[in-house]
Chain A
């Protein structure tokens, strides 16, 4: 069974540009979560999508946004990139987003902002 997949694996952008990161959940999973992991820091919750709707977002500015498509894949968009946005962006999926469900992570997209 295929796990969570993310693309691209690496992305290099310059300040002020926009970045788009993509995630495909495990087959049958409807919930997708996005996390940011900056160097030396823990995982910070960004966004949660379920059944095409945004269910919750973490303490990040509005220039971090995303969406979930009808096939449950998801996209994270980061506008007006800043140097401190450089990080590993992780996507996770769970079956329905229900209480106590395990989240399974993808390999991540390494974003470097120059």
Chain B
């Protein structure tokens, strides 16, 4: 069964303290791994799509990487405005639906 597990569930960092969020997946034929940011009560905001192992993408303080079994979202020198829930999702070979992890709640203290 296709599955996405994110860790940790919650992460509190000091401003400027770099860290990584993990997304482990089991899927029958990966057809895309997606990272989203979600603020409370709002819809997810698209960040990155990764398609194959070894691929990396960057945007401001965020960098996403992909291996055959997991993806990491690295956050460098975070600021309080980076506080949000970060969601990981995968699409399988049938492409019939996208499966989301439960997210990591990131809190950055000034």
Contacts and interface: CB of A to CB of B under 8 A. Distances in A.
Interface of A: 4, 6, 33, 35, 41-43, 45, 48, 55-56, 58, 88, 90, 92, 97-108, 110
A88 to B, nearest CB: 7
A4 B45 CA distance: 11
Size range of the interface on B? Answer: 20 to 34
Given A4-B43, A33-B98, 15 more contacts: A42-B100, A42-B103, A43-B44, A43-B87, A55-B96, A88-B41, A98-B95, A99-B32, A100-B91, A101-B32, A102-B46, A102-B49, A103-B98, A104-B46, A105-B43
Nearest to B103: A42
Interface in B42-92: 42-46, 49, 51, 87, 89, 91
Contact of A90 (B43, B91, B95, B101): B43
A105 B96 contact: no
B102 interface: yes
A103 B34 contact: yes
